[in-house]
């Protein structure tokens, strides 16, 4: 069994954070004391990724070389992450045992939760409990992560072909939590750990993580995200995906627009018969319902296991979260106020070099790559 992810929970030094997403490829370069040195982004060409897998390795290698050139860095080591579609992440319970016994038992315990042969996967785990604090007949919680070995090795080969060296292959949802580290702890030293709900609405999947303090309680990937909203618009109005994406970005609302909003969002001088914001809302409404329903069901399922944990705070990020009104809809449906994530707040940023407005516009898309970059540098000072 491969062990590429064996350093999953250990930091590395001086590596670039790289996210290969379905919509964009993004990189962040940090220096000492988490100083932002540079960031870059390139659109992911259509067909380059298929269901989280690399459909055109040569083309991806070319894009990575171009992105690295834009980043203007000599660093070749990268911390990256596999797509949510191709990873399995679970919090499981196992009988109390020593850490050595757990290392031997994990493949057998994990096999029940992994939908492919255990000898074909890259598997890693993190023990969430101290065995010495568990009663003799008690159980311990373990976070497991797995992906097909061929998927991991394909990504490694593509990175190597672009002159890059992967030192850690991380998990996207937990990378995205890294910029929020300070907000996951109690405000007072002796206070109770807050329950946090984290949603990252990406291009092809939405990551949902529920935590108590920094301890994961639930991790789930939902196959409804930005791409589904774009496809709904494309189907309803017979538009190419590229044009539907532009319509979504510029005119779509996750709520029924008022007459004033219709005027503000009107397409202007375009041919008669083009969809109005209300038309677009009607097209994407089923996707909104499906996404909010899946999030609610995930929380209800967790509560049904006897773990009744109402979130004290919630965060939403990812390119798909920029759909106008989505945050408000989810807040209303779930009865939880969602906050945007500003990953740049976790860094030292020279505002004389980096335009604050551009950083703000890019914040949702760069939460994961900033988290990966934080994994790639040491905590100096």
> Please, what's the b/e burial string for 157-183 (b: 16 or more CB within 10 A of its CB; e: otherwise)?
ebbeebebebbbbbbbbbbbbbbbeeb
Residue 349 CB-half CA count within 13 A: 18
When comparing pLDDT for 185 and 213, which is higher? 213
What pLDDT does residue 54 have?
86
Three-state SS for 13-80 is CCCEEEEECCCEEEEEEECHHHEEEEEEEEECCCCCEECCEECCHHHHHHHHHHHHHHHCCCCCEEEE
Q: Is the pLDDT of residue 5 over 50?
A: no
Q: How far apart are CA 185 and CA 191, in angstroms?
A: 9
DSSP bridge partners of 142: 92, 127
* SS3 at position 144: strand
Least trusted range by pLDDT, from 89-93, 108-112, 223-227, 258-262: 258-262
Q: What is the pLDDT of residues 70-101, one digit of tens each?
A: 999 999 999 999 888 888 999 999 999 998 99
Identify which of 343, 379, 245 has the alpha carbon closest to the alpha carbon of residue 26: 343
What is the DSSP pairing of strand 16-20 with strand 24-30? antiparallel
Q: Is the pLDDT of residue 338 over 60?
A: yes
List, as own/partner pairs, every contact residues 248-251 make where C-beta atoms lie below 8 angstroms and the sequence separation is at least 24, other chains included: 248/280, 248/284, 248/323, 249/322, 251/277, 251/280
Q: In the predicted model, what is the mean pLDDT of the chain?
A: 87
CB atoms under 10 Å from CB of 291, counted, come to 27
Q: Please, which pLDDT band fits residue 13 given cuts at 50, 70 and 90?
A: low
Give, in order, the Cα–Cα distances in Å from 166 to each of 30, 152, 365: 16, 11, 21
Residue 194 is given by DSSP the state: P
Q: Is the pLDDT of residue 380 over 50?
A: no
* Domains detected in the chain: 4-226+288-375 (3.30.420.40)
Cβ atoms 173, 84 nearer than 8 A: yes
Q: Rounded to 5 degrees, what are φ and ψ at 279?
A: -65, -40
What pLDDT does residue 50 have?
79
Q: Is the pLDDT of residue 135 over 80?
A: yes
CB atoms under 10 Å from CB of 128, counted, come to 16
Helix axes 241-251, 226-237, angle to 10 degrees: 110
**Distance between the two ends of the chain, CA-based, in angstroms?**
38
Q: Is the whole model's pTM more than 0.85, yes or no?
A: yes
Give residue for tokens 């897998």: 53
Q: How far apart are CA 20 and CA 30, in angstroms?
A: 18
Q: Is the pLDDT of residue 64 over 90?
A: yes
């Amino acid at each position: 069994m491969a062990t590429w992810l064996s350093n999953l929970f250990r930091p590395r030094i001086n590596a670039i954070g790289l996210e290969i997403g379905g919509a964009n490829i993004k990189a962040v370069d940090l220096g000492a004391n988490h100083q932002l040195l540079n960031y870059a982004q390139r659109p992911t060409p259509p067909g380059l990724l298929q269901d989280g897998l690399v459909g055109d390795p040569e083309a991806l290698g070319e894009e990575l070389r171009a992105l690295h050139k834009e980043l203007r860095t000599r660093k070749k080591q990268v911390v990256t992450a596999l797509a949510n579609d191709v990873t399995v992440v679970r919090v499981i319970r196992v009988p109390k045992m020593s850490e050595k016994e757990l290392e031997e038992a994990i493949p057998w315990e994990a096999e029940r939760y992994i939908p492919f042969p255990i000898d074909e996967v890259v598997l890693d785990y993190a023990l969430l409990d101290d065995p010495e604090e568990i009663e003799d007949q008690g159980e311990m919680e373990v976070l497991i992560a797995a992906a097909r070995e061929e998927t991991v090795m394909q990504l490694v080969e593509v990175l190597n072909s672009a002159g890059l060296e992967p030192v850690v292959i991380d998990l996207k949802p937990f990378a995205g939590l890294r910029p929020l580290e300070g907000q996951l702890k109690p405000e007072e030293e002796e206070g109770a750990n807050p329950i946090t709900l984290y949603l990252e609405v990406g291009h092809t999947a939405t990551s949902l993580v529920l935590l108590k303090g920094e301890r994961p309680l639930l991790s789930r990937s939902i196959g409804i995200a930005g791409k589904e909203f774009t496809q709904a618009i494309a189907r309803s109005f017979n538009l190419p995906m590229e044009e539907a994406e532009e319509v979504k970005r510029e005119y779509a609302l996750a709520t029924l627009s008022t007459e004033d909003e219709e005027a503000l969002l009107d397409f202007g001088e375009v041919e008669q018969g083009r969809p109005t914001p209300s038309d677009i809302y009607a097209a994407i409404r089923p996707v909104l319902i499906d996404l909010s329903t899946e999030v609610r069901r995930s929380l209800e399922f967790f509560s049904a296991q006897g773990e009744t944990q109402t979130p004290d705070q919630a965060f939403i990020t990812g390119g798909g979260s920029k759909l106008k009104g989505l945050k408000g809809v989810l807040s209303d449906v779930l009865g939880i106020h969602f906050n945007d994530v500003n990953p740049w707040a976790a860094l030292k940023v020279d505002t004389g070099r980096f335009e604050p407005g551009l950083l703000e516009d890019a914040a949702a898309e760069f939460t994961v790559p900033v988290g990966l970059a934080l994994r790639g540098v040491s905590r100096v000072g």
